Amino acid sequence: MAEEKEIKLDKYDRAILWQLDINARMSYSDIARKIRLSKQAVRYRIVRLEKEGIIRGYRMLGNLSSMGYIYCRLHVKLFNVDQVAEKSIISSIMKNEKVNWVVSCDGPYDILVGLIGKTEMEIEKNISDIFVAHKNYIFNYDFATVTRLVLFNRGYWLGKEVATVKKYMVGTEKPYIKPQPVPLAPEDKRILMALAGDARVPIVKIAREVGLAPETVSYKIKKFERSGIIAKYFLLLNYRKVGTQLYKALFYANPMEPEVEKGFAEFVASNPYTIDYVKTLAPWQIEVDLEARNNEHYHEIISDIRNKFKGIIKDYETLYILKEHKFLYFPI
């Protein structure tokens, strides 16, 4: 994979990215007011960041639990594959409508796959389809059911301590509590699907596509935001172009009381390079994604976590994310 050159950003670029990271649907006018720059200058800079490939897109991330879905991940180790075969496998997996996330990585696994389903049987069927199609190339795999997925803002944009903003994609702030599923009408799903593909899509365009008045679409979106159906409007970045690398740490941990786990999660969240915290039913118990500057910086962060919770963390594994191939956190 060709190495991508870091693009230098000034304070206004970083301020814009910070605001978009908080809310990728924020208007040019609101961003301009918050960073004290003209609306025209903000629009120009965002367009430039898109053209330079720093901003890869904008996604709406829904709370899958609130929509009645189970979220699982496959961690797959391949064998007997070259680059052409691996590319073909990834392309095939991405076509599955219940697959919402696919990345290639370096470490104990080669491919990570996110799967959504209403039932365990539906997920089992999709896993079986993947394995049957690629049985000659799958050496082994591990399976993780996600019980809580918390998203954080990228505090490193501002170069200073900032309050951690938590958004829940799976589960709630209270451990072991599953949100009551919210029924969605067909037009609700179409609105959410439009936002999932492009969080900045104009309301008038959504209204035209779903056949509703813009005022009705606006009302429904605000209702989804208040209810937590919409967890976050997410900024999709080319992290290498802003001088970071994406790592996933898999922590093998001893059982924790709720208050201890809360302290662990808050300590992880306090690091501005941490972008999420994932609780799983898997061989490991916790996943943490970090956008660190380099390997040394990543291991410094991990060392801090292990030293702080040395009686809890038994071991960890590292996945170096090479490429995100699919990122669409909404069920079709």
Give Cα 100 distance to the centre of its chain: 10
**Cα distance between residue 57 and residue 214, in whole Å:** 23
Give Cα 63 distance to the centre of its chain: 12
The burial class, CB within 10 Å (0-12 / 13-18 / 19+), for 216 is middle
Helices and strands (H and E) in the chain: how many: 10, 11
- What's the CATH code of the domain at 189? 1.10.10.10
Domain-located, residue 122: no
Domain-located, residue 146: no
DSSP 298: H
Domain-located, residue 220: yes
pLDDT digits (tens, 9 = 90+) for 6-36: 899 999 999 999 999 999 999 999 999 999 9
Domain-located, residue 102: no
- pLDDT exceeds 90 at position 157: no
Domain-located, residue 216: yes
**Cα distance between residue 32 and residue 238, in whole Å:** 23
Domain-located, residue 50: no
State the total domains in the chain: 1
What is the span of the domain harbouring residue 198? 183-228
Helices 28-35, 39-51: inter-axial angle, 10-degree rounding: 110
Mean pLDDT of 320-329: 92
pLDDT digits (tens, 9 = 90+) for 164-177: 667 777 877 777 67
Domain-located, residue 74: no
Domain-located, residue 205: yes
**Cα distance between residue 71 and residue 73, in whole Å:** 7
